[in-house]
Structure 1
Amino acid sequence: MIKTFTQTDLVRYLYREITEEESREIDRALLCDNELKALFNELRCMLDEIDAADLQPSPVTVQNILSYSRNLQERQR
């Protein structure tokens, strides 16, 4: 019998946060279940896009944080 896997299970699988036994079960399920395989591929693409994203705060955000920090330091004096 093949276990039903959730989206969370697949994310854990992608991040290698599962046991070896769970990994084998998911591997088997991916071979047999086309819907699960499609969901897995979609999640993998999303993960690739997240990893490729250039995530940097805007200059305004950096200045706001620095200003806040300076204000805190001045109040503590």
Structure 2
Amino acid sequence: MIRYLYHETTEEESREIDRALLCDGELKALYNELCEMVGAMDDAQLQPAATTVLSILSYSRHLQEKRTH
């Protein structure tokens, strides 16, 4: 189902899943739930933790100091 959601199935697989979704209410409910989850993940704004940013900046400063000495 995940491959289907991301359009990674073959044409034949997609047709079979389409037919199954029409006939199987539980499968259709699962599909709808997965669609919502994919949408929520796509909408999520991911940001690194402040400590991660500080660590990267510190490392960068350290590299700059090594190059100037």
What TM bracket, shorter-length normalisation? Answer: 0.7 to 0.9
Larger Rg: 2
Q: TM-score, length-normalised on structure 2?
A: 0.80
Q: Going by fraction, where is helix more abundant, 1 or 2? A: 2
Q: Alignment partner for residue 16 of structure 1, among 7, 10, 13?
A: 7
Distance 2:22 2:40 in 1: 24
Q: Alignment partner for residue 18 of structure 2, among 11, 27, 44?
A: 27
Q: TM-score, length-normalised on structure 1?
A: 0.73
Query: Is there any run of 5+ residues in structure 2 with no aligned partner, and where?
Result: none
| Residue 36 (structure 1) aligned with residue 17 (structure 2) | no
Over 3 Å off, 4+ runs: 68-74
Number of aligned residue pairs: 66
Query: Is there any run of 5+ residues in structure 1 with no aligned partner, and where?
Result: 1-9
1:59 is matched with 50
